[in-house]
């Protein structure tokens, strides 16, 4: 009999459990509440909060924010048997039924915390039937959640009047603190309001709230819930609160992260609250002073070089500036980068062995297959070292190095560095990309400089503390990164703001400025061992300004940011890597000294990589006794000549010196009796007109076409031909003008050594 009874009981229990499971399946729990998205700083404080989809402030309270004080106060006030019942308190139900039936005492519904959660999840009219459903839901909640999770749900849903729900929302909007930072008095204040959200309104009925708070403090003290001294101190604490606005720091990054993680109630950003607040204040106040110059916006990005985490993110000077389109995010906006890519180009060229810091580069007007760059100040220097070309941000040497390196090699590295616009338009990019002819964002450019600061290693920026650290990829050698940094840290340069060199607050940074065509964008990006800071200044409308240059308006803000945000950075600097070495080079060329190089300087180089060519800035020439002619090996007489050294200039450098009247020792003409016809390896280079170009001339203005060329420095005369018909003879450096007939033209130039060059152009008239 006992065995049969046990079997029957087991069957009954199984059937009951099966029925409960079926009911649980047929009537699932209500969906989780919709929380207000909040973005936290790295220290856990709230940077920015948004209304939830139902336009309520319901910020999710995490379990760690429910302090023992808050837990004790809520449970003691609302449901002291919370830890022991299964969602419904039978004793409390019987007591409440008796009071309600016989009219003795205060009418209550004997609701437990779990029952209140059920009602808050599914608000219904208060009827006897709905109360039964509420009890069933409470039992179901107890089966699905732990006691701590139920308490957490309760604290996230309790009303505080108006559209404020949850203890975290109330703590932030009234006390400007998260729940775990509240005092005992503040915690008790928030514990007593939920049952009377309309009768006890913080900010309006502070006196009534204070009286009720103190009553409950005394009650908690009498129950021994908190130490008497703590209760006594809490009773003395004033209550002078008001409704505050929700936190609105870092609006651009917050919006970006909320869009990126739409289902997360709490997003933990990498921003440092103090740095973010300072960066926003500095940027807003700085741009305010620029308004009279027609400049309305700026963006700032601060990156920790070691972690790659973004510690400050300022998308615009003022998010609420609708006239200046302040809601645009300048950190991700694609704009012309100006000269900011030059350091990366030179570092790549060093890694290819093409250049070293002391190498001399031609800085003369040059035609690169129809593209004729100019320096920012419209002035050329003849020849400059690479370090001066970078420090002074000269355009022509940069284009020359890019032409030598190859545009595909350069753009492929930019693609690896995460440049999205370059990746999409790589096939259409040319030599102008180094001068701002490609699109880039402040985020991409700043991370490129983080790569320089991190010994040439690239990884994606991190905007949250929860994102995994990206695997680093080597884009540059540590040696080229150091050499580039060494140049960018020099103070003898034109983009140093006026008076900055004598300032005691000049930070120790390596930096580079940039200005886009039309002065629409001003850039300044700098770094030290700890931080990289990127600054963009301009107008989101694209409107230019005469004052808008990197040196004048972007670098002052960069220096202010470094002095404010990184003032306590360790005073250490980059050191030369072991793989780097130095050598003597000719001061006239920057190459390894040759036979005739008395002036030598020390230069860094990359062993087994840097070019080891010997200097030939002077060449030995056979000159007649009277110095009027030179001889080649074929026509040199047996005697009556002498050997002399002459500058071995590139044709374009010689042509520039001739045009500018710069004195140099010019080679005498070749022996006119020599019958040898030279080869084409040093034929004239036609610099105008540009090959394969269409020229539109105005017939009413009698416009003419310019003919010019560069030649070997021993050439005295050139002969111009149009469509194989002789036009005229001119000096090698002479500029010739003529009026062509419309249609296709073949322009030919032959020098006095028989070497010839042709270009094809098309002329139309209007």
Catalytic residues: 78, 339
Q: What gap in Å lies between CA 39 and CA 470, rounded to an integer? A: 22
Note if the bond before 689 is cis, omega within 30 degrees.
yes
Residue 343 is inside which H or E element, if any? helix 342-351
Structure tokens at 510: 């390596």
Four-CA torsion 250, 253, 255, 257, nearest 10 degrees: -130
Q: Please give the span between the terminal C-alpha atoms of the chain, in angstroms, as a whole number.
A: 117
Residue 314 is inside which H or E element, if any? strand 310-314
At residue 223, the 3 state secondary structure works out as: coil
Which residues have C-beta within 8 Å of that of residue 272, sequence separation ≥ 6?
A: 41, 42, 43, 311, 312
Instruction: List Cα–Cα distances, 309 to 379, 399, 499, in angstroms.
Output: 41, 33, 33
φ, ψ for residue 100, nearest 5 deg? -70, -35
Structure tokens at 163: 């559209």
Angle between helices 128-144 and 113-121 (to 10 degrees): 110
β-pair type (46-49, 38-40): antiparallel
Q: Are 351 and 476 in contact (CB under 8 A)?
A: yes
Buried/exposed 26-64: b ≥16 CB within 10 Å, e otherwise: eeeeeeebebbbbbbbbebebbbbbebeeebbbbbbbee
Q: What is the DSSP string of 101-140?
A: HHT-S-------HHHHHHHHHS-----HHHHHHHHHHHHH
CA 350, 355, 358, 361 torsion-angle sign:
negative
Structure tokens at 715: 């050439």
Structure tokens at 390: 């970078």
Q: What gap in Å lies between CA 396 and CA 21, rounded to an integer? A: 78
- Give the Cβ contact number of residue 101 at 10 Å: 8
Q: Are 197 and 231 in contact (CB under 8 A)?
A: no
Q: Are 745 and 675 in contact (CB under 8 A)?
A: no
Angle between helices 128-144 and 147-157 (to 10 degrees): 130
Structure tokens at 523: 């850039």
Which residues have C-beta within 8 Å of that of residue 23, sequence separation ≥ 6?
A: none
CA 421, 423, 425, 429 torsion-angle sign:
positive
Structure tokens at 308: 């790659």
Q: What are residue 761's DSSP bridge partners? A: 745
Q: Are 86 and 142 in contact (CB under 8 A)?
A: yes
HSE, CB side, 13 Å, CA atoms: give it for residue 725. 4
- Give the Cβ contact number of residue 132 at 10 Å: 10
The residue among 115, 113, 150 whose CA lies nearest residue 132 is 115
Instruction: List Cα–Cα distances, 685 to 692, 704, 759, in angstroms.
Output: 15, 20, 10
- Give the Cβ contact number of residue 143 at 10 Å: 13
């Amino acid at each position: 009999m006992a065995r049969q009874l046990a079997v029957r009981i087991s069957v009954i229990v199984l059937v009951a459990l099966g029925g409960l499971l079926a009911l649980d399946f047929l009537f699932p729990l209500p969906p989780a509440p919709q929380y207000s998205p909040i973005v936290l700083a790295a220290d856990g404080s709230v940077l920015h909060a948004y209304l939830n989809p139902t336009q309520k402030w319901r910020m999710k309270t995490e379990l760690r924010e429910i302090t023992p004080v808050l837990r004790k106060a809520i449970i003691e006030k609302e449901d002291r048997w919370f830890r022991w019942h299964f969602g419904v308190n039978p004793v409390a139900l019987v007591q409440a039924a008796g009071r309600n039936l016989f009219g003795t005492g205060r009418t209550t519904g004997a609701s437990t915390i779990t029952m209140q959660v059920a009602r808050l999840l599914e608000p219904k009219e208060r009827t006897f039937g709905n109360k039964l459903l509420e009890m069933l839901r409470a039992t179901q909640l107890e089966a699905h959640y732990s006691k701590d999770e139920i308490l957490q749900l309760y604290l996230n849903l309790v009303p505080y009047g108006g559209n404020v729900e949850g203890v975290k929302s109330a703590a932030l909007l009234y006390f400007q603190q998260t729940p775990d930072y509240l005092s005992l008095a503040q915690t008790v204040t928030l514990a007593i309001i939920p049952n009377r959200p309309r009768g006890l309104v913080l900010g309006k009925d502070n006196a009534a709230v204070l009286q009720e708070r103190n009553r409950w403090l005394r009650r908690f003290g009498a129950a021994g819930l908190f130490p008497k001294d703590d209760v006594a101190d809490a009773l003395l604490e004033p209550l002078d609160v008001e409704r505050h606005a929700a936190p609105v720091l870092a609006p651009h990054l917050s919006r970006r992260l909320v869009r990126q993680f739409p289902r997360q109630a709490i997003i933990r950003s990498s921003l440092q609250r103090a740095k973010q607040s300072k960066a926003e204040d500095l940027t807003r106040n700085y741009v305010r002073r620029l308004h009279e110059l027609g400049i309305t916006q700026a963006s700032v990005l601060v990156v920790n070089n070691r972690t790659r985490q973004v510690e400050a993110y300022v998308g615009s000077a003022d998010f609420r500036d609708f006239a200046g389109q302040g809601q645009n995010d300048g950190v991700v906006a694609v704009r012309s980068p100006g000269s900011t890519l030059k350091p990366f180009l030179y570092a790549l060229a060093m890694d290819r062995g093409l250049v070293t810091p002391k190498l001399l580069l031609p800085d003369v007007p040059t035609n690169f297959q129809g593209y004729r760059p100019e320096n920012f100040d419209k002035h050329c220097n003849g020849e400059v070292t690479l370090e001066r070309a970078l420090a002074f941000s000269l355009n022509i040497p940069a284009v020359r190095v890019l032409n030598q390196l190859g545009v595909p090699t350069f753009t492929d590295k930019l693609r690896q560095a995460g440049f999205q616009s370059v990746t999409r338009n790589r096939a259409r990019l040319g030599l102008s990309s180094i001068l701002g002819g490609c699109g880039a964002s402040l985020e991409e450019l700043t991370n490129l400089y983080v790569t320089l600061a991190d010994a040439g290693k690239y990884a994606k920026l991190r905007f949250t503390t929860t994102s995994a650290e990206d695997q680093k990829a080597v884009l540059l050698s540590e040696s080229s990164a150091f050499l580039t940094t060494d140049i960018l840290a020099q103070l003898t340069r034109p983009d140093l703001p006026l008076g900055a060199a004598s300032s005691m607050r000049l930070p120790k940074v390596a930096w580079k400025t940039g200005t886009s065509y039309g002065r629409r964008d001003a850039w300044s990006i700098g770094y030290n061992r700890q931080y990289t800071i990127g600054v963009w200044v301009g107008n989101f409308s694209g409107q230019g300004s005469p004052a808008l240059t990197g040196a004048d308006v972007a670098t002052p803000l960069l220096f202010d940011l470094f002095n404010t945000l990184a003032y306590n950075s360790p005073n250490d600097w980059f050191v030369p890597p072991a793989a780097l070495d130095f050598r003597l080079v000719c001061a006239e060329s920057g190459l390894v000294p040759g036979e005739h190089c008395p002036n030598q300087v020390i230069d860094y180089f990359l062993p087994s990589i840097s070019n080891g060519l010997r200097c030939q800035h002077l060449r030995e020439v056979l000159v007649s006794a009277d110095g009027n002619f030179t001889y080649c090996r074929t026509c040199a007489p047996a005697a009556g000549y002498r050997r002399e050294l002459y500058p071995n200039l590139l044709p374009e450098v010689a042509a520039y010196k001739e045009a500018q009247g710069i004195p140099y020792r010019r080679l005498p003409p070749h022996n006119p009796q020599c019958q040898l016809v030279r080869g084409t390896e040093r034929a004239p280079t036609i610099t105008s007109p540009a090959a394969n170009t269409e020229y539109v001339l105005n017939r009413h203005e009698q416009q003419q076409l310019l003919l010019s060329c560069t030649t070997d420095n021993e050439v005295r005369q050139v002969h111009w031909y149009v469509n194989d018909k002789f036009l005229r003879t001119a000096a090698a450096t002479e500029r010739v003008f003529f009026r062509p007939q419309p249609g296709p033209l073949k322009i030919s130039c032959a020098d006095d050594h028989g070497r010839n060059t042709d270009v094809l152009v098309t002329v139309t008239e209007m």
